[in-house]
A and B are shown apart, each in its own frame.
Chain A
Amino acid sequence: MNQINELFTNVQIDLSGLPEAEQMEMIPLEPAYKTVRYISAALVAVVFLLGSWIFALSQPDLFPYGLIVAGLMTLISAWIVMYAGIAFDYKGYAVREKDITYKSGWLWKSMTTVPFNRVQHCDLRQGILDRRFNLSKLTIYTAGGQSTDLMIPGLLPDTAEKLKIFILKSTEQSIEEE
């Protein structure tokens, strides 16, 4: 167990000198995105609430159980809306010279990094709510498939455009170097 912090034994490079992704300064998303998250969570919550309460009240023969389920659904709905706000504070991205990272998650934390020389293409998208709040969503595609695509929501359209141009330029450069 003494080598637990060593990645491999025949080191060719100084592992401690590697750029550490953990020490990056994360850029938070636009505050307006928090409102967008609240609204979309509220929409889901309303559907849940309406569905469960209509079900509970229209099936009186299920008497205590229907209400229990509806009560649970109410709690879950409240949690969904609250969580949208909490989760926002944990979302962020960071751009380094050669890669881009997005992290998210309050309890289940996750962090994805895509090197620029693996980017296939990127696109900018705006949903209905995004347009209303003047936000953009940047998606970065790699050849690794859907699960590896990096999606950064809640960017100002201007920032998103700049980021996209920067990424595509870096990608081109790295390919030319190859």
Chain B
Amino acid sequence: MDSSSNLYQPQRQSPKAVILILLKYIRIIIRQMWPILLIVLINPTSGKGIIITIIALGIAFISLIYSLVAYTRYYFFIQDNELCVRSGVFRKIVLNVPFDRIQSIDFKRNLVHQFLNVVSVQVDTAGSKGSELELDAIELERAEELREIVLAYKRERKVSTTDLADPIPPIPVIQEAPELILALSPKDLIKIGISENHLRTAAIIFAFFLGLADDLDQLLGWDIYGQLENTTTAMSIFGLLATLLAIPLFIGVSLAITLIRTILKYYGLKFWREGKSFKVVSGLFTRNEKSIQKSKIQVIRWVTSPLKRIFGIYQMNIYQATNVDQNQDKSLVIPGCYQQQVDHTLDTIVPDFKDAVFTAHRMHPSIVRLMVFVFGFLPAVLFGFMAWYNEGMMQWMLTLVFPLAIWMGYLYQRKRRLKIDPDFIVSEGGIFGNSYKLIEIYKVQSVHIESSPMQRRRGLTSLHVFTAGGDISFPYLNAAVARLARDYILYRVEQEEKSWM
């Protein structure tokens, strides 16, 4: 403990943190002020431009001083099994996080971190909002040391509490060698990138350009909408040709962006098991490390889409018990893996799953009628009315949402299954793809059933089963089955002696 004992002394972050703190402030400033900066870049000699430049330089200078002061006044250390941080430029802020409250310690390295060989440490706590802690830059060895101290403390605690309840001495915790569950090769990444949801990327690009157009319009008076409208109303052959060319171009750009995004985000992804926890490390420039303790896992979901099915890959999400108020995504994401890797992962997390004998319950076909009414009939009437009112021939096309809803509703009902085993519940679904959501019954937090008059007339009920990391909702289930399921789940939970977390 010679070298590590210095963690118990108040100490600053790595001096390299100054650079990172400065970059952080600059990034915040640029994000807030980019439209103004754009004016300066476009028109630097105007009176406005000079003033803004001076202000910008002033702000940059002040933030440099501020980051230096912030750095020198920031201390962290370990004391009485608490992680303590003293900071604050004007006010003094003291933050103590007891080890017991620490949920996870994750490392993050972006390009700068990698270049400087430091990591940013994110400490997630079980407290309320704003209580999580971030150390901008400390040396990797020190960060690992810190994590080891906290984990060692947690292991000890666990052992001592089980000791009280159980007279048999627990098996000493053996530091198991990390087991690699899966790694993604560049080839896998390309498959994943191609099979991602391009519609989503297209929507993001679209939203981005709309936002850009708005900003430019406000700042510089460039009326992009008006120009676009002029071009599109002039329905010349050129315009038509441009539209025809634009569609594949748009799809191509979306595809390229998703592909790049996937590679940046998931490059060199490795999924590890380290004793009692799971870890995903990935990223090309920003190296992300996320870990989940096995006992915290509440929901496992794996999905495939028609595109993904061509490559035979699934996306997997492992959800842990979270503080819902924080509303952060703390799930482990494996963007692509093959069937046997899904099986292997499930086998590692829930070994009994492979022996489970499920009874499948289907959704009543009358759900299709409801879905067609809400997602097909009502929008179709609305679009039809709009088309009739505007006399727009193209708008009549939108009423096709009605047959589309019938088709999709039918596919949805056909695939929806609630599968129950004495220990597990699996919710199956998917319209074009397939999705599976698994929860262990003893981890359920509460059960909710509800029914509308229409459902009651057909003897149906909606069942909702909640865990600390997600829920399973199954509408239009046979009422008797739903009630029995509710009674059984409650019985299991109330009899269960294992802790849900």
Among the listed stretches A4-12, A61-69, A76-84, A157-165, which one makes contact with chain B, having 4 or more residues with CB under 8 Å of it? A4-12
Q: Are B445 and A118 in contact (CB under 8 A)?
A: yes
Q: Are B471 and A8 in contact (CB under 8 A)?
A: no
Q: Are B450 and A113 in contact (CB under 8 A)?
A: no
Which of B452, B480, B493 contacts A115 (CB under 8 A)?
B493
Which of B359, B456, B501 contacts A9 (CB under 8 A)?
B359
Asked if A40 is at the interface of the complex by the 8 Å CB criterion, the answer is: no
Q: Are B484 and A112 in contact (CB under 8 A)?
A: no
Which of A7, A22, A111, A118 contacts B448 (CB under 8 A)?
A111
Name which residue of chain B comes closest to A16, CB basis.
B484
In the bound complex, residues from chain A placing their C-beta under 8 Å from that of B496 are 117
Q: Are A4 and B481 in contact (CB under 8 A)?
A: yes
Q: Are B488 and A15 in contact (CB under 8 A)?
A: yes
In the bound complex, residues from chain B placing their C-beta under 8 Å from that of A11 are 422
Q: Are A118 and B446 in contact (CB under 8 A)?
A: yes
Q: Are A115 and B446 in contact (CB under 8 A)?
A: yes
In the bound complex, residues from chain B placing their C-beta under 8 Å from that of A6 are 359
In the bound complex, residues from chain A placing their C-beta under 8 Å from that of B484 are 5, 7, 15, 18
Residue pairs across A and B with CB atoms within 8 Å: the count is 125
Q: Are B494 and A111 in contact (CB under 8 A)?
A: no
Asked if B500 is at the interface of the complex by the 8 Å CB criterion, the answer is: yes
Q: Are A114 and B446 in contact (CB under 8 A)?
A: yes
Asked if B132 is at the interface of the complex by the 8 Å CB criterion, the answer is: no
How many chain B residues sit at the interface, stated as a range, is 35 or more
Q: Are B359 and A7 in contact (CB under 8 A)?
A: yes
- CB of B429, distance to nearest CB on chain A (Å): 19
Q: Are B491 and A18 in contact (CB under 8 A)?
A: yes
Q: Are B324 and A20 in contact (CB under 8 A)?
A: no
Among the listed stretches A30-38, A102-110, A126-134, which one makes contact with chain B, having 4 or more residues with CB under 8 Å of it? A102-110
Which of A3, A98, A150 contacts B446 (CB under 8 A)?
A150
Query: Contact mask B473-498 → A, CB, 8 Å, 1/0?
Result: 00000101101111110110110111
Q: Are A113 and B451 in contact (CB under 8 A)?
A: no
Within 8 A of A (CB), among B420-468: 420-422, 444-453, 456, 466-468
Q: Residues of A within 8 Å of B, CB-based: how many?
A: 43
In the bound complex, residues from chain B placing their C-beta under 8 Å from that of A4 are 361, 478, 480-481
In the bound complex, residues from chain A placing their C-beta under 8 Å from that of B468 are 142-145
Asked if A147 is at the interface of the complex by the 8 Å CB criterion, the answer is: yes
Which of B358, B359, B466, B486 contacts A148 (CB under 8 A)?
B466
Q: A22-B483, A142-B445, A178-B165 are in contact. Are A115 and B494 (CB under 8 A)?
A: yes
Within 8 A of B (CB), among A8-28: 8-13, 15, 18-22
Which of B358, B466, B480, B491 contacts A147 (CB under 8 A)?
B466
Determine the distance from Cα of A150 to Cα of B466 in the docked complex, in whole angstroms: 12
Q: Are B466 and A18 in contact (CB under 8 A)?
A: no
Which of A19, A21, A146, A178 contacts B497 (CB under 8 A)?
A178
Q: Are A112 and B447 in contact (CB under 8 A)?
A: yes
Which of B321, B444, B452, B498 contacts A108 (CB under 8 A)?
B452
Q: A20-B487, A118-B500, A146-B324 are in contact. Are A107 and B453 (CB under 8 A)?
A: yes
In the bound complex, residues from chain B placing their C-beta under 8 Å from that of A118 are 444-446, 493, 500
Which of A13, A111, A143 contacts B445 (CB under 8 A)?
A143
Q: Are A19 and B487 in contact (CB under 8 A)?
A: yes
Determine the distance from Cα of A116 to Cα of B480 in the docked complex, in whole angstroms: 25
Determine the distance from Cα of A146 to Cα of B421 in the docked complex, in whole angstroms: 27
Asked if B357 is at the interface of the complex by the 8 Å CB criterion, the answer is: yes
Name which residue of chain B comes closest to A104, CB basis.
B450
- CB of B480, distance to nearest CB on chain A (Å): 5
Determine the distance from Cα of A144 to Cα of B468 in the docked complex, in whole angstroms: 4
Asked if B499 is at the interface of the complex by the 8 Å CB criterion, the answer is: yes
- CB of B293, distance to nearest CB on chain A (Å): 15
Name which residue of chain B comes closest to A150, CB basis.
B446
Query: Can you list 26 A-B pairs with a CB-CB distance of less than 8 A?
Result: A4-B361, A5-B478, A5-B484, A7-B359, A7-B481, A8-B422, A21-B487, A21-B490, A22-B483, A107-B452, A108-B451, A108-B452, A110-B448, A112-B448, A113-B446, A113-B447, A115-B446, A116-B494, A117-B494, A118-B444, A118-B493, A118-B500, A142-B445, A143-B321, A150-B446, A178-B498
**Residues of A with Cβ closer than 8 Å to B?**
3-13, 15, 18-22, 98-99, 105, 107-118, 142-148, 150, 174, 177-178
Interface pairs A-B: 8 shortest CB-CB:
A144-B445, A145-B324, A110-B450, A143-B468, A144-B466, A8-B359, A98-B494, A148-B466
**Residues of B with Cβ closer than 8 Å to A?**
165, 321, 324, 357-359, 361, 420-422, 444-453, 456, 466-468, 471, 478, 480-481, 483-488, 490-491, 493-494, 496-501
5 more A-B contacts (CB under 8 A) besides A21-B490, A116-B494?
Answer: A6-B359, A109-B451, A142-B445, A148-B446, A150-B446
